[in-house]
Amino acid sequence: MEYVELGKTGFKVSVIGLGTWQIGTKLWGWGTDYNESDAIATVQQAIDLGVNFIDTAEIYGGGKSEEVIGKAISGRRDEVFLATKVWLTNLSYDKVIKAAERSLRRLNVDVIDLYQVHWPNPFVPIEQTMKAMERLVKEGKVRCIGVSNFSVNGLKRAQEALSSEEIASNQVEYNLLNRKIERDLLPYARREKITIIAYSPLAKGILTGKYAPGNVPKDLLRRADILFSSENLKRANKILEVLHEIAERRGKNVSQVALNWLIKEPTVLAIPGAKKPMHVKVNVGAVGWKLTEEEIKKIDEVSNSFKPERLKSYISIPFRLLRFW
């Protein structure tokens, strides 16, 4: 495993982490095949393979994800850099404090290594949220402060609201089908030494090569995503062709090439999800080798040319959902 410093904190985290939004999501009726035994085995396999960055959130499975992770890391707390997130409805001062205490109980730990604001809430002053975050750090309940889904302006405001701490990271969607952060957020993060935690690094599975026109996902979450339209899967196939070519030549698979492309950037770590131990083994195979400049150029050319079909109007969303049934 390879490790990078999280922001300017001095803490070293694995460049491939473990995203756990799927743990417990069966409770939400998304149609996933979540299994608690598999989830615990997956987390423990990740730790065995050197993955120390495990990311969860209070909203995942209504708290179930945190509970399962707490069980999985029991007796191995020192091997894990544990990150969780506070939901946007809990960002007022008192609610942040209470939410953190609930997360600590569910995770069965004394301290959260990285506590993140899951989404910005324009109806709650960021000063309230950051003041509560700093209190948690001073009380020893949180080690580092992060945010998620924040723009450059949002990052600046969050940092300005802190008096003694610094923003360590910003967790955002980043993959070969969505490179929007390269316009301004990634350059800003580089300059300020803020780590980008890339969620959905495999575009919900599209960049594994699993899906194609005529082979659409069964679960509601993906069916509702415009990226999984037949047209977009067809357009994404051009990227997959290049990834397949490189993967075959390098003795890797498509997802490993896509993840390696992400972590070539020192400011970025990726948190692919995994439901079974074998999935973690595949993800970790993205580490320990590097794409050549020629391979990167080839991937960049085809990726930059990807222009997804957009929803013509929000009224089409219910009709897309109906396809699931």
Looking at the chain, the number of H-run helices and the number of E-run strands are 12, 10
Residue reference for tokens 């350059």: 187
Q: What is the phi/psi pair of residue 149, to 5°?
A: 65, 35
- Sign of the alpha-carbon dihedral angle for 260, 266, 272, 276: positive
pLDDT at 307 over 90: no
Model pTM? 0.91
In a domain, 307, yes or no: no
In a domain, 299, yes or no: no
Percentage of the residues of the chain whose pLDDT score is greater than 90: 78
Give residue 86's domain range: 3-205+253-289
Residue reference for tokens 């070293």: 12
Active-site residues, by number, are 60
In a domain, 14, yes or no: yes
Total count of domains within the chain: 1
Joined together, the tokens standing for residue 197 give 């935690």
pLDDT digits (tens, 9 = 90+) for 120-139: 999 999 999 999 999 999 99
In a domain, 141, yes or no: yes
In a domain, 185, yes or no: yes
> What is the pLDDT averaged over residues 237-257?
96
Distance in angstroms (rounded) separating the CA atoms of residues 204 and 253: 16
In a domain, 15, yes or no: yes
pLDDT digits (tens, 9 = 90+) for 10-62: 999 999 999 998 887 664 444 456 688 999 999 999 999 999 999 999 999 89
pLDDT at 311 over 70: no
Domain of residue 134, CATH code: 3.20.20.100
pLDDT digits (tens, 9 = 90+) for 197-240: 999 999 988 898 887 666 666 666 666 677 888 888 888 999 99
CA distances to 111, 115, 116, 167, 322 from 92, rounded to whole Å, are 21, 15, 14, 18, 37
